[in-house]
Chains A and B, each alone.
Chain A
Amino acid sequence: EDKVVQSPLSLVVHEGDTVTLNCSYEVTNFRSLLWYKQEKKAPTFLFMLTSSGIEKKSGRLSSILDKKELFSILNITATQTGDSAVYLCAVVFPDDKIIFGKGTRLHILP
């Protein structure tokens, strides 16, 4: 069974739109949640979330964690074609396993 579930799996929007990507997980005992962006090569780090309710921001991207409801969201405002990528979330378990979801493939139309 999938412990980390991302939705939607695929999303196509127009440049300038705002998107919300979801990551839900079926575990309560985890240390942190990570978000990554993957274009053609290796994933690159976006955010690490450890506490519920604290929003992390970087430019047009932001993310928040809800530990009670077991999910996280990644928001991208005023999307640009350069935001087209696969967005991955991962959960860090107490035994240091790091498990990823299947990712959301985001395509921004000009």
Chain B
Amino acid sequence: DAGITQSPRHKVTETGTPVTLRCHQTENHRYMYWYRQDPGHGLRLIHYSYGVKDTDKGEVSDGYSVSRSKTEDFLLTLESATSSQTSVYFCAIKDSRTNEKLFFGSGTQLSVL
């Protein structure tokens, strides 16, 4: 699992509340990614990071923000959750040794009611 831990594994929240998902890695990889997965859409990139405090937007970044204050942690925040953000969220790290392969965390199932 390349030392990736996502938390929480499951969360149910209400519309309008802020939500933060955490991705933690233990192998000091530089690149970290957040994706969401919905039926019929595959994996869509939300934000990614290429180092501490270095982040960039992906395909579906509206309504999401990220922070990376330490190499090992990449946080995804939904400032004001909406029902359209109900999804499975995957964190991934890019293996620094091969520089291309992505390894995924176990995912967070988020339900916004």
Contacts and interface: CB of A to CB of B under 8 A. Distances in A.
Contacts of B98: 48
Given A43-B43, A103-B42, A98 B104 contact: no
Q: How large is the interface on A (under 10, 10 to 19, 20 to 34, 35 or more residues)?
A: 20 to 34
A103 B85 CA distance: 20
A65 interface: no
Nearest to A89: B42
A96 B45 contact: no
Given A95-B56, A97-B48, A102-B41, A43 B100 contact: no
Contact of A48 (B41, B48, B101): B101
B interface bracket (residues with beta carbon within 8 Å of A): 20 to 34
A99 B48 contact: no
B62 interface: no
B40 A102 contact: yes
A88 B107 CA distance: 16
A73 interface: no
A31 B59 CA distance: 19
A96 B48 contact: yes
A98 B56 CA distance: 12
Contacts of B58: 97
Interface string B34-62: 01000011111100101000001011000
Interface of A: 6, 31-32, 34, 36, 41-45, 48, 50, 88, 90, 92, 95-103
